[in-house]
Amino acid sequence: MSTFKPLDPLLHSQLRLAVMSLLIGLDEAEFTFLKEKTESTAGNLSVQLDKLEKAGYIKIEKSFRDKRPLTTCSITSLGVKAFEDYVENLKNYIS
């Protein structure tokens, strides 16, 4: 029997994993895009993005566009590594 490596509990959340899956293929994404693609509420998405940012997995930039707030997220190199490790460890569980 092979040894199973632990899955990152931060990425094991459905919404956080969805956000990371979207960001892994993009330079950056606006909050509204992530909200639409994940079908999340603004409040829940904000909380989950905050957790990912505190872990160093994503970077959040706040600015304005036409006098309206704009939140943009991008994945960090630490986030890419964490995501890739998570996927590899998950593959080990199903093979």
pLDDT at 1: 46
pLDDT at 59: 98
- Domain annotation covers residue 4: no
The whole-angstrom separation of Cα 58 and Cα 2 is 32
Walk along the chain (95 residues) and give the pLDDT tens digit of each residue.
Answer: 458 888 999 999 999 999 999 999 999 999 999 999 999 999 999 999 999 999 999 999 999 999 999 999 999 999 999 999 999 999 998 88
- H or E element: which one contains 70? strand 68-75
Q: For 77, which DSSP code?
A: H
Residue 41 CB neighbour total at 10 angstroms: 11
pLDDT at 2: 58
Number of domains, the chain:
1
Which structural domain range is residue 29 located in? 14-94
- Domain annotation covers residue 19: yes
pLDDT at 5: 86
- Domain annotation covers residue 43: yes
